[in-house]
Amino acid sequence: MPNGAPPPGTWIDIASKAIITVGFPTVMAGVLLWWLLTTLEKTMDAASARIATNTEAISRLITNEEAILKELQGQRQEMAVQTQYLKELMEKSGRLLQIQEKRQ
């Protein structure tokens, strides 16, 4: 290295040869493109992970809502049965009231 040139095969030597061969703007554009693509890849990986997490959460939410819907349907059926019993009770109570009124 008497002339101060970088040793062959180092990153400085490779960068120097690339700049001399294709020009500084082209090398900078390549570096910028590489940086953008790696940054975009990291961003896309993060977005994919968030989407996967959201999908799992939505799946659990849907399962929970289905369970709540089944419970509410069961309660509605039970209330319908109880309403029928109350109607029958009111009808029988009315008859009993009529019978008591006749006795008095």
pLDDT in tens, 24-79: 888 889 889 999 999 999 999 999 999 999 999 999 999 999 999 999 999 999 99
**Domain for residue 75, yes or no?**
yes
**Domain for residue 27, yes or no?**
yes
**Percent of the chain scored above 90 by pLDDT?**
64
Residues 81 and 88: their CA atoms lie apart, in Å, by 11
Q: Domain count of the chain?
A: 1
For the cut 80, the answer to whether the pLDDT of residue 6 exceeds it is: no
Residues 46 and 52: their CA atoms lie apart, in Å, by 10
**Which helix (H) or strand (E) is 4 found in, with range?**
none
For the cut 60, the answer to whether the pLDDT of residue 16 exceeds it is: yes
**Domain for residue 54, yes or no?**
yes
Instruction: Note the pLDDT of residue 1.
Output: 45
Domain extent for 46: 11-103
Burial class (CB in 10 A: 0-12, 13-18, 19+), 34: exposed
**Which helix (H) or strand (E) is 65 found in, with range?**
helix 24-103
**Domain for residue 48, yes or no?**
yes
**Domain for residue 16, yes or no?**
yes
Q: Among all chains, which residue has been given the structure tokens 């690339």? A: 18
**Domain for residue 3, yes or no?**
no
**Domain for residue 88, yes or no?**
yes
User: Please, are residues 13 and 6 in contact by the beta-carbon 8 Å criterion?
Assistant: yes
Residues 7 and 46: their CA atoms lie apart, in Å, by 40
For the cut 80, the answer to whether the pLDDT of residue 23 exceeds it is: yes
